[in-house]
Chain A
Amino acid sequence: MSSHKVVYAMYDDDDVLLDAVKAVKDANYHIEEVFTPFPVHGLDKAMGLAPTRLAITSFLYGIVGLCVATVMMNFMMIKDWAQNIGGKPSFTYIENSPAFIPITFELTVFFAAHLMVLTFYMRSRIWPFKKAENPDVRTTDDMFLMELPVTDDVEALQALLKETGAVEINLTEKK
């Protein structure tokens, strides 16, 4: 991996950070990444990130869960060993369907939620025991960090960051 110089600007307030991101974007600088201790509402839009497609995958996973539930219960309760549900001698899936709705619902939610979380982990490239990528441990506590690649005019960038309320500006080599 080639190393390159980056500027780390630290902020101590989420509102200040949000305004700073907007100001830096307006000055046509590229923001590499922002590290925050908690999700900041509206930050993704201010940074100009593309809308997430996670919702679409969640919908598809939900449909998978619905199909799995239907096939599973049809096999277990109707085909393999027909169950007498609530004393009603009806042995088709549709006649017993009210009894199957809670399970269908639960499995739809189960598949959508769990697979969506897994997708999110894979897309974010995180897995158990992975070494943390944040450049400063204080971003897990009370500080916000904006990472910018160094441009030709470092002084102007630093001056702009100072103006937006950065409490600390570091110029470092990124490994």
Chain B
Amino acid sequence: MYNFSKKLKLTAVVLMVLGAIGIGAGFMSAPKTVEDVEAILAHDNAHGGGHEDAHAVTTHDTHKAEASHDAHANEHTAHLEHVLTQLQNKPWAALYVACFFFMMIALGVLAFYAVNRAAQAGWSPLLFRVMEGITAYLPFGLLAILIILGISTVGHGNHLFAWMHADLDPTSPTYDSIIDGKKGWLNPGWFMIRAVIFAVLWSGYQFLSTRLSRKQDTASDNSNFKKNFQLSAMFLVVFLYSESIMSWDWIMSFDPHWFSTLFGWYVFSSMFVSAVTVIALVTIYLKSKGYLEKVNNSHIHDLAKFMFGLSIFWTYLWFSQFMLIWFADIPEEVTYFVTRIEDYNLPFFGMVVLNFVFPLLVLMNSDFKRVNWFVVIAGILILAGHYMDIYVMVMPATVGDQWSIGLSEIASVLFFLGLFIYIVFTALTKAPLEPKRNPFIHESEHFHY
């Protein structure tokens, strides 16, 4: 049985406390009025920040409509109000990115776990308890994201979702016919109902599968194993549909005028590679503490191979999405990449280096995939890169060019990292780290590549 060390528990609690303080401070320091914004912009300009081009950069189309008013004074006030909304969104968006990122890791691990169960993989049963431990975070992560989504939509607590505040009156000059056409799908009630359905389905599978896995330890036959196989196969079908819809709702709807048909896959690839990376990191950590004696370097090698392959898969989807839109050059589609390349140049291209170039070079060699510290370094870079990926998906539509990696962003990551560590390692203490009666456990012990 795994023993959650006091040191790690303390680290997790400290991270959560520091994160919570930082998140609170981030909300407190957000500007309250237009005058605050004017002061901030003046301060930036004095430092040579140069926000003259801010008028040209429009993330919300409503702003474009406002900005087209004749009177310059009106335009200035509209701009200030727009920046005020963006700066008030910033702590919310930072919280949302971190919350989604850690939820996504747990969800990706659940999908990877289900794939291994459904495929009756022989190499991985020794890692099942690690995966089950990580997925224990999923219900908590989903609850956190449901709360934020609830505040943002039915609660009218912030301006994260532009479609919540679109003008749907056909007689109005700022009438948004595109969002009006989508209101059957994008309305707060139905949006939240879908979110709750997904959360219940995913958490339900997580609960049932983990329970069957633990019952198999003391069972006298393989019926729990078989049930788990059937359940996992069914879950995968449900998951692939629901994950795609989730990615439209929870990420793509930040840019409600824009759409991409492979967006579900794109988010999935990011989720899957981060998930396998976290499985590898937790496994290496547990091994370094003397647990999981039977996990050998071939298991680490295979996890690293998944990290390598899935990084290339992510790049493939990232590029596919970009190339089609670049090639067609249709105005309503290219806005997505124009804002990202103009305002988010460094994170947008920097993440390609982190998510593609580094894993490609570091994990190409078969021998390096067996060296723990190589895998750890590659893993940390991959996780940083995929945090940036989610960041660049969410931020342009919510804070526009007012982005920065500041107090709110770092504190949000620290808070959810602390929560993640606390819940995952608590869950790991609940069952023996080595499944006993799994029919493939022998094959997994002898796994050798």
Contact = CB atoms under 8 A, between A and B. Distances in A.
Interface of A: 41-42, 55, 85-88, 98-99, 101-102
Q: Is the interface of A mostly helix, strand, loop or mixed?
A: mixed
Nearest to B323: A98
B143 to A, nearest CB: 41
Interface in B362-419: 366
A86 B319 contact: no
B323 A101 contact: yes
Contacts of A42: 448
Contact of B322 (A55, A88, A98, A102): A98
B319 A99 contact: no
Contacts of A88: 329
Interface in B305-327: 319, 322-323, 326-327
10 contacts: A41-B449, A55-B366, A87-B329, A88-B329, A98-B319, A98-B323, A99-B323, A101-B319, A101-B323, A102-B323
Interface size bucket, B side? 10 to 19
B328 interface: yes
A86 B448 contact: no
A99 B327 contact: yes
A92 B366 CA distance: 38
Contacts of A55: 366
A95 to B, nearest CB: 11
A87 B330 CA distance: 11
B327 A98 contact: yes
A87 B334 CA distance: 14
B323 to A, nearest CB: 5
Nearest to A86: B327
Contacts of B449: 41
A48 B326 CA distance: 52
Contacts of A98: 319, 322-323, 326-327
Contacts of B329: 86-88
B334 to A, nearest CB: 11
Nearest first, the 6 closest Cβ-Cβ pairs linking A and B are A86-B327, A98-B323, A98-B326, A86-B329, A42-B448, A87-B329
Interface string B179-213: 00000000000000000000000000000000000
Nearest to A87: B329
B300 to A, nearest CB: 18
A42 B449 CA distance: 7
B319 to A, nearest CB: 7
Interface in B413-449: 448-449
Nearest to B320: A102
A90 to B, nearest CB: 11
Given A41-B449, A55-B366, A98-B319, 5 more contacts: A42-B448, A98-B323, A98-B326, A101-B323, A102-B323
A41 B123 CA distance: 13
B159 to A, nearest CB: 34
A99 B326 CA distance: 9
A87 B326 CA distance: 11
A21 to B, nearest CB: 14
Contacts of A85: 327
B315 to A, nearest CB: 10
Nearest to B325: A98
A86 B322 contact: no
A41 B366 CA distance: 16
A48 B448 CA distance: 16
B370 to A, nearest CB: 14
A41 B449 CA distance: 8
A42 B326 CA distance: 47
A149 B323 CA distance: 60
Interface in B75-128: none
